[in-house]
Structure 1
Amino acid sequence: MRGVFYCLTLSFGFLASGLVPAQAQDGPPPSVTDPDRLPGVAPLPGEDDSLSPPMVIPPPDEAPTDNPDAFGSAPPTEEETAPDEDTRTADETPVQEIDRLFTELRRVADARDARRVAGRIERHWRRSGSATIDLLMQRAARAMTREDNAAALDVLDQALVIAPDYPEAWNRRATLNFSMNRLGKSLADIEQTLVREPRHWGALMGLAIILEQTGHKDKALETYLRVLAVYPALDSAQDAAGRLSEELLGPAI
């Protein structure tokens, strides 16, 4: 059954075509804050500016029914990434490198090797190209760790004022809205993430989780299969697709 999952590529169209779950429609995305508040980027209340956590704190490769800390896969371990941290050839652009890494990710069957490739892709996604955005993303991650949702939303809104084309800021806000059970807003942010990076398996996993939780299991299965078309070795997507396929279509003979 798993081999079938690997070769399927499904289109993302049910958000734009009006198939977003009705019970998830809780209003338009929140408006962004006044960019005039940005100069100086003051620390958040209770924040220790000496701390420098990673810009994004991805979750484990967990069961799809769990609320993720972020829509994304677990980062590879130090041991998995240390030997070949820089793989770009001399004449390869960043876009060419990430395209090559996605091709490699589709071909890797071993989960450990796939995590190494996925980790390199996620590092590309985290490169905003702006020190200000990187700082705001760090502060959003710290606020989310403290469960200070209001502060995290404020900082992410600021990041999106400055860099509306940065997919990880949309993905991070989608994660936060999901954790607050604001599913309509999370769906809107997921859609914005996928407009900018259609191969973002973390955003696709978030979309599939929401569709499954709101009873749209057929669309959830389609989305899990789309994850597997991008990242075939992702265990959580394999498990979810197998479980839903058996539930909707019956056990494989």
Structure 2
Amino acid sequence: MPAMRIFVTLILASSALAISMASGTPLPAAEASPQSETASLATPEQQLDSLFAELKKERDEDRARDVANRIRLQWQDSGSATVNLLMQWADKAISDDKKSMALDILDQVIVLAPKYVEGWNRRATLHYQMGNFRKSMSDVSRVLLLEPRHFGAIAGMATMLDDAGKSELALRAWQQFLDIYPSDRKAQEQLGALAEKLAGSRT
């Protein structure tokens, strides 16, 4: 997906990575729903491709949310029992408000499985919760290099860019999000609000 990779490269080069960002509400992890017929496909990559194709064409909000949750379920499974257990421990530490412990665990996840997208994504969310916005943006960028279709990471990037006053880049991020997940109501509202804001600033 060259357009997405160009977008990620632009973000990595942006000065938004080097400025302080205001805090906001982190994106929660979603519950996964039952498996669909994609489970019969040969590889996890093929299953994801099929789910993303379904997500892109689905216009019903509830059915699209179900597809998105199945995608999240795919992302959560690292393929390693050890890494999956560490992720459970990290989640427990976060729920117990032991963020430093959770961060140490997620650091180990990334060392053990550097290509595991959800390890980077979970650490990005935790950095965001802890106010480490530059580190969060760096981890989000790594997520998108590994999985350019990661709509959760794109939403997080869009939020941080908007908080940093980078409204045009945030607008582009939401456009990329909606190209992947077009029926998401919140993303539609964010895109509309940013478009109105930018239009107003030019008049």
Give the TM-score normalised by structure 1.
Answer: 0.72
1:23 aligns with 2:19: yes
In structure 2, do the counterparts of structure 1 residues 139 and 246 end up closer, same or farther at CA, with 3 Å as the change threshold? Answer: same
In structure 2, do the counterparts of structure 1 residues 244 and 90 end up closer, same or farther at CA, with 3 Å as the change threshold? Answer: closer
The secondary structure found in structure 2 opposite 1:16 is: helix
The secondary structure found in structure 1 opposite 2:31 is: coil
- Indicate conservation of the 8 Å contact 2:27/2:156, yes or no: no
Deviations 1:39-64 (A, max 9, x none): xxxxxxxxxxxxxxxxxxxxxxxxxx
Q: What's the offset of the Cα at 1:15?
A: 2.8
In structure 2, do the counterparts of structure 1 residues 110 and 157 end up closer, same or farther at CA, with 3 Å as the change threshold? Answer: same
Q: What's the offset of the Cα at 1:14?
A: 2.4
Q: What's the offset of the Cα at 1:153?
A: 0.5
Q: Which runs of 5+ in 2 are unaligned?
A: none
- The equivalent position to 1:12 in structure 2, one of 3, 8, 16, is 8
In structure 2, do the counterparts of structure 1 residues 233 and 161 end up closer, same or farther at CA, with 3 Å as the change threshold? Answer: same
- Indicate conservation of the 8 Å contact 1:75/1:115, yes or no: no
- Indicate conservation of the 8 Å contact 2:154/2:173, yes or no: yes
Q: What's the offset of the Cα at 1:90?
A: 4.4
The secondary structure found in structure 1 opposite 2:7 is: coil
**What is the distance in 1 between the residues matched to 2:164 and 2:112?**
33
Q: Give the equivalent residue in structure 2 for 1:75.
A: 31
**What is the distance in 2 between the residues matched to 1:90 and 1:212?**
40
In structure 2, do the counterparts of structure 1 residues 91 and 146 end up closer, same or farther at CA, with 3 Å as the change threshold? Answer: closer
- The equivalent position to 1:222 in structure 2, one of 172, 175, 178, is 172
The secondary structure found in structure 1 opposite 2:8 is: coil
Deviations 1:175-222 (A, max 9, x none): 000011111000110011111110000000110110000110110111
Q: Give the equivalent residue in structure 1 for 2:84.
A: 134
Equivalent pairs counted in the alignment come to 196
Q: What's the offset of the Cα at 1:87?
A: 1.2
**What is the distance in 1 between the residues matched to 2:177 and 2:41?**
30
Larger radius of gyration: 1
Letter in 2 for 1:135: L
Q: Give the equivalent residue in structure 1 for 2:56.
A: 106
**What is the distance in 2 between the residues matched to 1:104 and 1:18?**
32
The secondary structure found in structure 1 opposite 2:78 is: coil
The secondary structure found in structure 2 opposite 1:13 is: helix
1:174 aligns with 2:170: no
- The equivalent position to 1:146 in structure 2, one of 96, 99, 103, is 96
In structure 2, do the counterparts of structure 1 residues 91 and 98 end up closer, same or farther at CA, with 3 Å as the change threshold? Answer: closer
Q: What's the offset of the Cα at 1:69?
A: 5.0
Q: What's the offset of the Cα at 1:235?
A: 1.5
Q: Give the equivalent residue in structure 2 for 1:198.
A: 148
**What is the distance in 2 between the residues matched to 1:249 and 1:235?**
21
**What is the distance in 2 between the residues matched to 1:14 and 1:67?**
25
User: RMSD between aligned alpha carbons?
Assistant: 2.1
| Larger relative contact order, structure 1 or 2 (CA cutoff 8 Å, min sep 6) | 1
- Indicate conservation of the 8 Å contact 1:21/1:214, yes or no: no
Letter in 2 for 1:226: Q
Q: Give the equivalent residue in structure 1 for 2:112.
A: 162
**What is the distance in 1 between the residues matched to 2:99 and 2:39?**
41
**What is the distance in 2 between the residues matched to 1:91 and 1:121?**
14
The secondary structure found in structure 2 opposite 1:199 is: coil
1:87 aligns with 2:37: yes
Give the TM-score normalised by structure 2.
Answer: 0.89
- The equivalent position to 1:239 in structure 2, one of 176, 186, 189, is 189
